[in-house]
Structure 1
């Protein structure tokens, strides 16, 4: 129980008592309440002092020096004061919540001004305790900026050259990157290309790919096709369709390459919380990390009763918190609203994101894949149109997309 852990820890760390906020009212267990009351007496410096104060309060108490020493032995040694303060804050908030429930019931039964004022006072104190501790100070940010004169700032994971330039140096921690596309444009294939580029240019990077509409094997076949230039159909029927030794050697070498790589593909996780737990665990174990999710609309939340826009809002909010807390980039693919199909101009915009409000709000970067509509004498290109970018440029990156070989080639024009 938290209150017992706090008392035991204070008995082990007597010297911290003067530096923490403490109130006997927060404790429910009689022994803990009595000990908390004793801690509040000025001049407490040892277990002997605590024992004496306890006996002054209650001459017949069974609490003695041996009892205090045993409990102190069970306590946690805490070097940083912040950890103990966090435990006490949690206990105080629990006490205030209980108080507020009781006072709310009292006011409901007897709606007097006095009861209302008591309820409001506790409510305001609870709100203050639960408020984020940030005081708006610039010190931490300025210290970090000063340090850039002495050490190089990581530029992010490298991928395509022009894309990295648009993103301000690569895919960085803290970024939620959303890429939207109509069906058939190649968003999954682009994800494969982007992941493969990151593996190639960042050998230490761990790349996790969460696929929600196809199997792991199908995704691996796409990676193999991209790596070897051998069409997926041939890879699926290798014995019958791969005749030359050269093709066979290329395919077998690519199997070894991906087996030894840090690419991981998950096809059995659909719940948002399960995906986030997996990302948190894996990112802690790897200094360089990125996750891909294909795609947003298939992710699930625990409350099945929620409307589609509520589900998307919950998912994007949690993903944004994940990128910030774990300091990693996450790329999530999204379908577009069907309204775009009825428009003459098929170039997507931010409002075309399905249930777009929270997606646009929570994403650091939003890009759209779309195919150009060339005249007879023109070549078709696929465009990644970056329309929102909090940390870099907006604009278009042009690719030549070979659907048969799953290959997105950057076009420098």
Structure 2
């Protein structure tokens, strides 16, 4: 695993800000994939996952050191080292440079892959990274605190727009199918996953005739699904 000596300076500055000033994470999007150092990437992922829960460096250190990731490293020494890093003057500039460095590494790696194996896939991959790197980071001003407040408000206000399918299934889901959800049905082959999905769609449309259900299948044609 990477040692502290292999931590790029910009990554050390960025994680220092996230630890010492966790309130910054509430209003700034810092993706853990931007960190090349394994330790710092795991720490950034932890802070992002629990954003808003911990309000100071001591709380973050105490909780992270108890995680499986923290137990695999010299957690106390890592936090002691990061705490001694001078506080950067311009936080946004640090995160902007961190992001730029990540895409620079990604573009260099993708270009190297084209040299090794020139084909449509590697070229498209490079082009995809280039487009992503040049996109405006719309999440830079993403107000996580506002989203948290909205989620808490939703918990206090009953959802009225449930999609109904089967009564027992609706009760298990707390009222039915809701918006902003991704439900994955997993099971062995040929046990009825497609039939279950088709029945969900059918019952939902029977309950609400104004409802439109889109079905995408990589297994059967539209005619086969209609026949089923």
Q: TM-score, normalised by structure 1?
A: 0.28
Instruction: Determine which structure has greater relative contact order: mean sequence separation of CA pairs < 8 Å that are 6+ residues apart, divided by chain length.
Output: 2
Rg bigger for which structure?
A: 1
In proportion to residue count, which structure has more strand? 1
In proportion to residue count, which structure has more helix? 2
Q: TM-score, normalised by structure 2?
A: 0.47
